[in-house]
């Protein structure tokens, strides 16, 4: 496949996920895989089915749930042998979890960390394109908000990269408060 800018359709930068049906629709392994794939380009149910190795009926059910929740939409259609093929895409590049609505679904706070750790553990030593670090800094809340904005911009840049190559890379970003101890502030010199 030729390299292309991702995704190949127009979408909003961010969608606040704050409705129970949105939350329920997203937190299923197959549905997460679908919305992840749709960041690359728009796809039909058949393409998603072939890529994920699942029956078209199963993928159709998941696509319908995501569409009903307002998380994906038909971005274009194409006539294929007298049948209209629907191409689905995300409504936004980033789904922002404003808060966890009361859904009865339990999601561990470290859900994304666990997913990244499982993928990271599979990487063979010496593979290119790998980096990880964990840093701590005692900063004012306003600066933490600025860092969050910068990381969101970096995430958008990463997912907007031109598609190509044979490997799908992951990017995990987080800014969070901790209860780590810190040294007292220095007294001003007199």
Evaluate whether residue 132 is within a structural domain. yes
Evaluate whether residue 24 is within a structural domain. yes
pLDDT digits (tens, 9 = 90+) for 7-59: 888 989 888 888 888 888 888 889 989 998 998 899 999 999 999 999 999 99
CA distance linking residue 76 with residue 9, whole number of Å: 9
Q: Are strands 83-90 and 72-80 parallel, antiparallel or unpaired?
A: antiparallel
Residue 24's domain comprises: 4-101+128-163
Contact assessment for residue 87 and residue 44, using Cβ atoms and an 8 Å cutoff: yes
Evaluate whether residue 114 is within a structural domain. no
pLDDT digits (tens, 9 = 90+) for 53-104: 999 999 999 999 999 999 999 999 998 888 899 999 999 988 877 666 565 6
- As for how many domains the chain has, the answer is 1
Evaluate whether residue 59 is within a structural domain. yes
Q: Are strands 92-97 and 83-90 parallel, antiparallel or unpaired?
A: unpaired
| Residue 106, token pair as written in the block | 């339990």
Which candidate, 36, 30, 32, 85, places its Cα nearest to that of 52? 30
Cα 39 to chain center, whole Å? 8
CA distance linking residue 140 with residue 145, whole number of Å: 9
Evaluate whether residue 118 is within a structural domain. no
Evaluate whether residue 11 is within a structural domain. yes
Quick check: pTM over 0.85? no
Evaluate whether residue 110 is within a structural domain. no
- The alpha carbon torsion through 119, 130, 112, 180 (nearest 10 deg) reads 130
Mean pLDDT, the chain, rounded, equals 84
Between 43 and 4, name the one with better pLDDT.
Answer: 43
CATH of the domain at 26: 1.10.10.10
pLDDT digits (tens, 9 = 90+) for 119-156: 878 888 777 878 778 788 889 999 999 998 898 888 88
Evaluate whether residue 173 is within a structural domain. no
């Amino acid at each position: 496949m030729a390299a292309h800018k991702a995704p190949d359709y127009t979408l909003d930068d961010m969608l606040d996920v704050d409705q129970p049906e949105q939350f329920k629709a997203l937190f299923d392994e197959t549905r997460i895989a679908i919305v992840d794939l749709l960041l690359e380009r728009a796809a039909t149910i058949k393409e998603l089915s072939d890529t994920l190795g699942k029956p078209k009926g199963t993928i159709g059910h998941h696509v319908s749930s995501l569409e009903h929740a307002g998380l994906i939409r038909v971005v274009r259609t194409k006539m294929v042998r007298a049948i209209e093929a629907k191409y689905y895409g995300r409504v936004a590049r980033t789904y922002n979890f404003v808060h966890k609505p009361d859904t009865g679904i339990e999601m561990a706070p470290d859900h994304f960390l666990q997913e990244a750790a499982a993928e990271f553990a599979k990487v063979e030593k010496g593979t290119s394109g790998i980096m990880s670090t964990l840093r701590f800094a005692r900063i004012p809340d306003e600066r933490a908000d600025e860092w969050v904005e910068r990381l969101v911009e970096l995430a958008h840049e990463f997912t907007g990269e031109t598609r190509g190559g044979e490997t799908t890379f992951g990017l995990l970003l987080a800014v969070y408060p901790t209860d780590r101890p810190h040294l007292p502030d220095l007294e001003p010199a007199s």
